[in-house]
Amino acid sequence: MPAVRPKKALGQHFLTDQAVAQAIVSALRHTGHTLEVGPGMGVLTQYLLKKEDISLKVVEIDSESVRYLLEHFPALASGLYEADFLKMPLEKLFQDDFAVIGNFPYNISSQIFFKILDYRESVPEVVCMIQKEVAERLAAGPGSKTYGILSVLLQAWYDIEYLFTVGEGAFNPPPKVKSAVIRLTRNSRSDLGCDAEMFKQVVKTTFNQRRKTIRNSLKPILSSLPVLPQYIPYLDCRPEQLSVDEFVELTKSLK
């Protein structure tokens, strides 16, 4: 069967550099159940199948890729799902914890991370390749211009490591941007100590108006409270100045 034709609508840029593929798979420390998102033509899959300490399942939305995978990797037959990862009920695939690995399509990488956050109690580790700019944003700390919504929401639950950069020439077709591989490792936090939904709302509301002070961006939330708290910290700051713990403190003050 010939190689799969990359589809622009699916954001497909197939990794062709075998050394990079091996490095990505080697970055996975988790043993046990593992889910690969968007395997394409199996550049990571071939090395994942050689790891005896993992049990692999893959999810692929592209039917042409599914046919290619089944032909070239028959061992996948019972663990290959032709589906949209973003719509999959992952609890039906795994009863226990599972790691996530993949070269994420750049056009939906943020949505993939939001889904992983929904399953954070079941996903101890994520190793993925994404757009370099997004990787830098996720790993950024307070005070950085790239620090944003996903930086805070992911860092609340995961330690994030920027592992290495990948050039455009490692792909077919080459993307117009550089890529990077990151590793997310679930931290020890089991509870934020505040309402998790309110925390998410505060983070999103403030960063969506990041040029404003928190006092101004939170006006709609403050006006909806039945009783205004006596003390609300950080109101004169801008969101990029606050750490995860400070966002937690801010959220707790709003209850």
Q: How many domains does the chain have?
A: 2
**177 part of a folded domain:** yes
CA distances from 133 to 70, 136, 138, 143 (A): 34, 5, 9, 17
Please tell me whether residues 25 and 136 are part of one structural domain: yes
- Backbone dihedral angles phi then psi of residue 183, each to the nearest 5 degrees: -125, 130
Give the pLDDT confidence score for residue 3 in this predicted structure. 77
Please tell me whether residues 121 and 229 are part of one structural domain: no
Give the pLDDT confidence score for residue 188 in this predicted structure. 96
Residue range 86-136, pLDDT digits in tens: 999 999 999 999 999 999 998 899 999 999 999 999 999 999 999 999 999
Q: Across the strands, what pairs with 130?
A: 180
Please tell me whether residues 126 and 54 are part of one structural domain: yes
Instruction: Answer whether 165's CB lies under 8 Å from 132's CB.
Output: yes
For residue 150, the SS3 value is helix
Q: Which of 133, 138, 143 is nearest to 113 (CA)?
A: 138
Please tell me whether residues 53 and 130 are part of one structural domain: yes
Domain end residue (candidates: 148, 165, 186): 186
User: How many C-beta atoms lie closer than 10 Å to residue 115's C-beta?
Assistant: 18
Domain end residue (candidates: 138, 153, 186): 186
The chain-wide mean pLDDT, for the chain, equals 94
* Cα(84)–Cα(170) distance, integer angstroms: 25
What is the residue whose two structure tokens read 């930086």? Answer: 151
Print the domain residue range for 13: 8-186
Q: Give the residue ranges of the chain where pLDDT is below 50.
A: 1
Q: Which of 158, 157, 182, 177 is nearest to 167 (CA)?
A: 177
Instruction: Answer whether 135's CB lies under 8 Å from 182's CB.
Output: yes
As a whole-number percent, the residues of the chain with pLDDT over 90 amount to 88
Give the pLDDT confidence score for residue 134 in this predicted structure. 96
**3 part of a folded domain:** no
**2 part of a folded domain:** no
Domain end residue (candidates: 133, 153, 186): 186
Please tell me whether residues 173 and 141 are part of one structural domain: yes
For residue 43, the SS3 value is coil
Please tell me whether residues 111 and 219 are part of one structural domain: no
Please tell me whether residues 208 and 121 are part of one structural domain: no
Query: What CATH number should be reported for the domain holding residue 202?
Result: 1.10.8
